[in-house]
Structure 1
Amino acid sequence: MKDFDSAAWKADKNACKGDRARLAPEFEKIRNEMVEKKEYVVRNVLGKPDKENLLERSQRIYYYYIEAGDQCQDASKLSDANRLEVRINSLGKVSEVNYSHPEKLKKPE
Structure 2
Amino acid sequence: MLKLNILAPVAGLLLLGACTPDSLKDFDSDTWKDDRFGCDSKRAELVSDFEKIRKEMYGKKEYVVRNVLGKPDSEELMERSQRIYFYYIEPGTQCQNRKQLSEANRVQVRINSLGKVSEITYYKPVETANPE
The TM-score, its normalising length taken from structure 2, stands at: 0.79
Is structure 2 residue 23 aligned with structure 1 residue 23?
no
2:31 matched to 1:8? Answer: yes
Work out which of the two has the higher radius of gyration on C-alpha atoms and give 1 or 2: 2
Task: Report the counterpart of residue 88 of structure 1 in structure 2.
Answer: 111
Shift of 1:3: 1.4
Tell me which of 61, 80, 98 is aligned to 2:84: 61
**Structure 2, gaps ≥5 residues long:** 1-23
From 100, 106, 111, the counterpart of 1:77? 100
* Displacement over 2 Å in runs of 4+: 104-109
Provide TM-score, normalisation by structure 1: 0.95
Aligned length: 108
Greater relative contact order structure (CA < 8 Å, 6+ sep): 1
Identical-pair percentage? 63
RMSD: 1.1
Deviation at 1:70, TM superposition (A): 0.7
Query: What is the CA deviation profile of residues 40-78 of structure 1, one whole-angstrom value per residue up to 9, with x for unaligned ones?
Result: 000000000000000011000000000111101111110
Aligned partners of 1:24 and 1:105 also within 8 Å: no
Task: Tell me how far 1:2 sits from its aligned partner.
Answer: 1.7
